Structure 1
Amino acid sequence: MSPQLSLPLSGFRIAVTSNRRSEELVEALERRGAEVTHAPLLKLAPLDDEAVLVEQTKKLIELRPETVIISTAYGLRRWFDSAEAAGLGHELCQCLNSAKLYVRGAKAHGAVRALGFHATAVAKDGTTAGLLDQLANEITGQTVAVQLHADSDHGLQLALRELGAARVLKVEPYRWLDTSSEQHLSNLVEGICAAHFDAITFTSAPSVHALLAAARSRNRTAALIRSLSERVVVATVGPVTAAPLEAAGVTGTLVPERHRMGAMILQLVGHLSELGTLSTSTVFGDCALRGRTLSLNGERCELSPAQTEILRRLMEASGSVVTREELVSVLPSTSSNHALDMTLSRLRRTLPHPDLITTVIKRGYRINV
């Protein structure tokens, strides 16, 4: 096997949807051999005008909430940078020192400790639901401040009022810019539906919501959900990110035990290396299928998604005959016998050796082992 093919993600095509820290993620995947498409679904909006955040901070300092909720590490740091620039850093520190701090997840907890604060409680699962469980019977009649993560967090304010909070103050250190009207997002949606990617990564729930909204506006929701469940591996950074995918009906989503980007990468590498690679010995030499890249005795060729599905099924049979009905079943749901014939014909022309696939008259096809 060539040095390039020995890399754990060589032959695999992965879509990266994040904007923040995307360079780090793309580099890590490419270093392991993946072909990466960067298609950010959302971008962090630059806070050219700090007035709104400063006013929110001043109001919090004035009203001295008994409880403050910290949602994200980046949001907390961004909040304090703004407060320091406005000359409010010391007063904000005093305010948070006198309040009970409830924190959503380990990363946010690390940022809280780094700034010298003590957390009253931390939602270990990193979810808003886990945080609300800890706040039950704790905030009745109180003024509660919440550092929001994104637009999708606004339901949290209503939930806090339902738990008895007398007043809820919001702090929005950053906002997301929707890029769903851009052409690259249309390409991403269609690419997922057609399984042009072997895997896709998500590092925030708002990005998931943006993809689902884009698919919905293009009448591609059903095809997208089916492909994400059956053909494209979905890697998420944690349960908060995975939740909207699972709610939409996506199954098999990868969620690492440690909610970190590094853990997500390692889990994805392990999954694709174990389940995404097939090898068999043939009369033409060793054959390996990694993602949509076939290597036969060191000679490589790139396959289409449909060609990959057919070859994968034949290789899984290890030389046994696979019927036409079985092969049609692995193609998209609208496929027919004619579509199978066309795909097989193109596949044979693409292979280094057309006779790698043998026709068994009146029975089906098999790999020539």
Structure 2
Amino acid sequence: MDEDQPLRGFTVGVTAERKAEEIGALFARRGARVVFGAAMHTVPLPEDGELAAATEEVLAAPVDHVVAITGVGFRGWFEAAEHAGVADRLREHLRSAEVAARGAKARGAVRGAGLVESFTSPSEESAEVLAHLLERDLAGKRVVLQVHGDPMLSFRSALREAGAEVVPVTVYRWTDPVDLDALDALIDAVLRGEVDALPFTSAPAATNFLARADRTGRGDQLREVLRDRVFLACVGPVTAAPIAAAGLPYSTPDRSRTAALVRLVADELPGRRCSS
């Protein structure tokens, strides 16, 4: 194995939309052939009427707790509020609430919005944020949950069972990718055995990758190939949820970071070929 290019001779499929070129370059630098096929498309924030409606719901009553799940999502929420002319009002409205951040990037976005966090998850996991909230008396409390991609239904359900009113703020919605032909071509390449690894960086991408195959009559065959012949790598447990639900094997890096995901594939994929 080439230590500088451990992925030489391997093909990696990139399903991300955001930062696809950056991710592809990281794999190419390690010698991989990269095939692109974005599995989803995000709706631009200022154009999303649902986000504006959610923001107005937040502003309609006092807020006791705010949960920032991602840095880009929380920052995007305030950028959209700025676009709508309500950012200052939103900032003042949330200033008295306790803010919990899922990791350093979310904390940075909270501070960038002019707020102060009371808790940051050391492990950068949503489960740790939920456990922190559930230690409190949430009966009658109003919790604003910034959702980013994954709807976090179990997270929301646990808060409601504890007596909280949960106001989800979906920072973006996702749809089919703009270039469906590229996604279909990637799925076909997987079916032909031409793809060795599929790294996923978001739950919606993983969900729609499988769903697109189902909608086009290729779902069962795709799952069989993924189970037996493709190394599936997910940036974190939230991203991995759709893969786990499908009963497919996968690996995650120690840290939920793109660079760590690339290292995971570079470290583990060559060994899989040697052991097969």
Q: What is the TM-score when the length of structure 1 is the normalising length?
A: 0.66
Work out the percentage of aligned pairs sharing the same amino acid. Answer: 35
User: Counterpart of 2:94?
Assistant: 96
Provide the secondary structure at the position in 2 that maps to 1:75: helix
Please point out which of 209, 214, 226 is paired with 1:228: 226
Please point out which of 224, 247, 251 is paired with 2:245: 247
**1:91-143 C-alpha deviation (Å, 9 max, x unpaired):** 22223321111233443233224445333333444444443333225321111
Residue pair 1:201, 1:236 contacting (<8 A) in 2 also: yes
Q: Report the aligned-residue RMSD.
A: 2.8
User: Counterpart of 1:75?
Assistant: 73
User: Counterpart of 2:236?
Assistant: 238
Alignment partners' CA distance in 2, 1:114 and 1:47: 18
Give the CA deviation at 1:263.
Answer: 0.9
Correspondence 1:262 to 2:259: yes
| AA of the residue aligned to 1:256 | P
User: Counterpart of 2:58?
Assistant: 60
Give the CA deviation at 1:150.
Answer: 2.4
User: Counterpart of 2:141?
Assistant: 142
User: Counterpart of 2:47?
Assistant: 49
Q: Summarize the Cα distance change of 1:230–1:45 in structure 2 as closer, same or farther, 3 Å threshold.
A: same
Provide the secondary structure at the position in 1 that maps to 2:152: helix
Give the gaps of 5 or more residues in structure 2: none
Give the CA deviation at 1:264.
Answer: 0.8
| AA of the residue aligned to 2:254 | E
| AA of the residue aligned to 1:271 | E
Provide the secondary structure at the position in 2 that maps to 1:36: strand
Provide the secondary structure at the position in 2 that maps to 1:98: coil
Please point out which of 2, 7, 11 is paired with 2:9: 11
Q: Summarize the Cα distance change of 1:157–1:257 in structure 2 as closer, same or farther, 3 Å threshold.
A: same
- Equivalent residues in 2 for 1:294-305, closer than 5 Å: none
Give the CA deviation at 1:155.
Answer: 5.3
Alignment partners' CA distance in 1, 2:218 and 2:43: 28
Alignment partners' CA distance in 1, 2:242 and 2:104: 20
**1:213-249 C-alpha deviation (Å, 9 max, x unpaired):** 1233344444333332331111211121112212221
**1:130-187 C-alpha deviation (Å, 9 max, x unpaired):** 433332253211111111212633554444322211x322323221122399233333
| AA of the residue aligned to 1:40 | A
Alignment partners' CA distance in 2, 1:130 and 1:215: 34
Q: Summarize the Cα distance change of 1:151–1:269 in structure 2 as closer, same or farther, 3 Å threshold.
A: closer
- Equivalent residues in 2 for 1:21-60, closer than 5 Å: 21-47=19-45, 49=47, 51-60=49-58
Q: Greater CA radius of gyration, 1 or 2? A: 1
User: Counterpart of 1:208?
Assistant: 206
Q: 201-210 vs 218-227, which deviates more?
A: 218-227
User: Counterpart of 2:110?
Assistant: 112
Q: Summarize the Cα distance change of 1:145–1:242 in structure 2 as closer, same or farther, 3 Å threshold.
A: same
Alignment partners' CA distance in 1, 2:63 and 2:210: 36
| AA of the residue aligned to 2:259 | G
Which protein has the bigger strand share? 1
Give the CA deviation at 1:206.
Answer: 1.0
Alignment partners' CA distance in 1, 2:55 and 2:262: 36
Q: 217-226 vs 242-251, which deviates more?
A: 217-226
**1:184-219 C-alpha deviation (Å, 9 max, x unpaired):** 333333332332101111000111111221233344
Residue pair 1:68, 1:146 contacting (<8 A) in 2 also: yes
| AA of the residue aligned to 2:27 | L
